[in-house]
Amino acid sequence: MLLENLRKIRIIKGFCQDYVADLLNISQAAYSDIERGKTKINFEKLKKIASIFDLEINSIIDFHETQKLDKLVSDRVNTNPDEMKTIMNLFDKERQLYQEQIDNLKSEITYLRNKLDKK
């Protein structure tokens, strides 16, 4: 359960194994072995991982995805306003692209209707 939680939390936080491994001063393969249970994790390493994830150790052990997801995401966004700004800009661009597609489709529909009416 703990190992599965490490993986889930890492993914939710948006961290790759390389990033966590670098902060732990180990290789990506060594960190992967921790997540897969090939290497036992000691208390000090778990404490350091908890610090990287900005969580208490008991939050990792008792992690329930449905209960913690909102907090993890909001903590990540709230602590990084630049990231929030980037996300909002991407949403705005995406919305603008969808609106352009809708407008193009409306124009095409109008064109096709006019063409049908002329027949």
Residues 59-86 pLDDT 10s: 888 776 545 555 555 555 555 677 777 7
- The per-residue pLDDT for range 3-32, each reduced to its tens digit, is 888 988 888 888 999 999 999 999 999 999
On the CB side of 67, CA atoms within 13 Å amount to 6
CA atoms within 13 A on the CB side of 82: 0
Residues sharing a CB contact under 8 Å with residue 89, sequence separation 6 or more, in sequence order? none
Do 37 and 3 contact (CB within 8 A), yes or no? Answer: yes
Does one domain contain both 65 and 88? no
**Which residues constitute the domain of residue 101?**
81-119
Same-domain check for residues 44 and 17: yes
> Closest Cα to residue 3, out of 29, 40, 30?
40
Number of domains in the chain: 2
**pTM for this model (two decimals):** 0.54
Q: Are residues 40 and 90 in the same domain?
A: no
Identify whether residues 44 and 2 lie together within a single domain.
yes
Same domain for 66 and 93: no
Do 86 and 116 lie in one domain? The reply is: yes
